Amino acid sequence: MDEMPAKDGDRAAPGATTRLRVLATSDLHMTLRGFDHYADAPADGVGLTRLATLIRAARAEVPEAPTLLVDNGDCLQGTPMDTPALTETRHPLMQAFEALGYDAIGLGNHDFNFGLDVLDLVLGDAACPVLCSNARRTDGGPFAAQPGVIVTRDTGQGPLRIGLLSVLPPQTAMWDAEILQGRLAVEDMVPAAARSAAALRARGADLVIALAHTGLGEARAVPGQENALIPLAGLEGIDALIGGHTHMLLPDGDGGDAVSGKPVAMPGAGGSHLAVIDLDLARDGDTWRVARSDSHLRARLGVAEDPELLAISDRVHARTRRLLTRPIGQSPWPLHSYFSLVAPSAALAVVAKAQADAIRATGQCDLP
**pLDDT tens column, 323-336:** 999 998 888 888 88
Comparing 134 with 157, the larger pLDDT belongs to 134
The mean pLDDT value of the chain amounts to: 93
* pTM, entire model: 0.91
**What is the structure's pLDDT at 105?**
99
- At 254, is the pLDDT very low, low, confident or very high (cuts 50, 70, 90)? low
Tell me which residue of 135, 20, 24, 28 sits closest to 71, measured CA to CA.
Answer: 24
Buried b (16+ CB within 10 A) or exposed e, 9-40: eebbeeebebbbbbbbbbbbbbbbbbbebeee
In the three-class reduction of DSSP (H, G, I as helix; E, B as strand; rest coil), residue 167 is classed as strand
pLDDT in tens, 29-45: 999 999 999 999 999 87
Counting other chains too, the contacts that 38-44 makes at CB distance below 8 Å and 24 or more residues apart are 38/80, 38/324, 40/321, 40/324, 40/325, 44/301, 44/302
In the three-class reduction of DSSP (H, G, I as helix; E, B as strand; rest coil), residue 206 is classed as coil
Once rounded to an integer, what is the mean pLDDT over residues 241-249? 97
Once rounded to an integer, what is the mean pLDDT over residues 199-215? 98
Looking at this protein, which amino acid is placed at residue 260? S
- At 256, is the pLDDT very low, low, confident or very high (cuts 50, 70, 90)? low
Q: Is residue 295 pLDDT above 70, yes or no?
A: yes
Tell me which of 15-24, 38-47, 195-204 is least confident.
38-47
Tell me which residue of 32, 65, 100 sits closest to 277, measured CA to CA.
Answer: 65
